[in-house]
Amino acid sequence: YHGIYNADDPTLLLAEHLRTAAALFVAALPSDRPLRFLHLGHGAGVLQRYLQAVLPGSDHVSVDLDGAVLAVSATEAPHAGRAVHGDALDFVRSTDETFDAIFVDIFDEANVCPAAFSETSFLDAAAASLADDGVLVHNLHIGGRKRDDAVARAEDALARHFHAAYRADSVDSTATGGNALLVGAKRALGRARLHENATRAGLGFDAGTRVRRLVRLCCDDDVCK
């Protein structure tokens, strides 16, 4: 399902959690320069293809532990980004590159994101790799004790490691399943500006509705919105 794409039109983004992620990316980031994205977990490369189409000139680096996934994607859903076969944790800890956004979309056999992606060493390295106005967006599955515990762990970690942390559940989520998109930012994100940016971006779907679902997880000042 997450790999569904239109071979002729990469701007058709079908997976709801990817729509939410794209809306958050685009709404939070500046539009006055080419943007650089790091995708931890390549999957089918659908989000990469989409963002390259709606943000011409954007640069994308994807890291995936599964070489077979990268090989199939390169054949079936090619895009102009750089694909790295390797461990996402190692890549972030060792890179000297700077990114405007880092998207974490990695799960184990139980559909739970490994705890290492909520640990200090990873989050410190990720924050160091982000531009001053960059954001980390973490996709997590909800529903069930293990998955909900992982979400709670990630929420707490982002709140402790970033100036501001947020959560927006995809619009198709229910109490028993779905996706939570967590955002770690180096500066507070004003809801009004995010909504305006998302609405203006022309993403091909109602980006404003996705951004309106954003909830501040932690307030460390008096401008929580």
Residue 223: pLDDT above 80? no
pLDDT (tens digit per residue) in 134-169: 999 999 999 889 999 999 999 999 999 999 999 999
What is the overall mean pLDDT for the chain? 88
Query: What is the secondary structure of 28-45 as a DSSP string?
Result: HS-SSS--EEEEES-TT-
pLDDT reported for residue 152: 93
What pLDDT score does 220 carry?
45
- Asked if residue 212 has pLDDT above 80, the reply is yes
Give the residue-averaged pLDDT of 210-222: 74
pLDDT tens digits along 20-41: 999 988 888 887 788 999 999 9
E strand map for the chain: 36-40, 59-64, 82-85, 99-104, 130-142, 164-169, 178-185, 215-218
Q: What is the mean pLDDT of residues 108-121?
A: 92
Which whole number is the average pLDDT over 51-61?
A: 91
- Do 209 and 195 touch, CB atoms closer than 8 A? no
